[in-house]
Amino acid sequence: MSKKKRKLRGTVEKVIQRSFPKETEKVQIGVHEADELYREIRVDNTLTDDEGEAVQLKPGAGVDVILEADSTAIVDKDEIRQDSPPPAKTKNEKK
């Protein structure tokens, strides 16, 4: 089954220290191409390098955020437009 991918650029904005000993350290990543309200994501600051060693990201690091889905989980753009409801009217629009 083929996968469809999209790569987005991001930057590590900050490292969030754990509050409790059992928690893992997190990083906040700003995704450049995301909408303003949804730009930041937080994930565990746990990665592995090519040798399998544990590594962590540091503030300011450039990262790639990769979205990946099976071809069975996607629809054609034209299909989305046909099924979408009309946009909601705003307060300023006349009825």
pLDDT tens by residue, 34-84: 999 999 999 999 999 999 999 999 999 999 999 999 988 888 877 766 555
Could you tell me if residue 71 is inside a domain? yes
Among residues 17, 20, 25, which one has the least CA distance to residue 54? 25
pLDDT bucket at 25, cuts 50 / 70 / 90: very high
Per the structure, the count of domains in the chain is: 1
- Measure the CA–CA gap between 15 and 42, rounded to whole angstroms: 9
- The H or E element spanning position 78 is helix 77-83
- Write out the two tokens for 87: 């946009």
Query: Encoding tokens for residue 59?
Result: 């503030």
Highest mean pLDDT among 1-5, 30-34, 75-79, 90-94: 30-34
* CA 91 from centroid of its chain's CA atoms: 32
- Within a domain: 94: no
More confident call, 42 vs 95? 42
The answer to the question of residue 89 being in a domain is no
Domain membership of residue 64 (yes or no) is yes
Global confidence as pTM: 0.72
Task: Classify residue 90: in a domain, yes or no.
Answer: no
Residue range of the domain that includes 10 = 3-83
Contact (CB, 8 A) for 29 and 12: yes
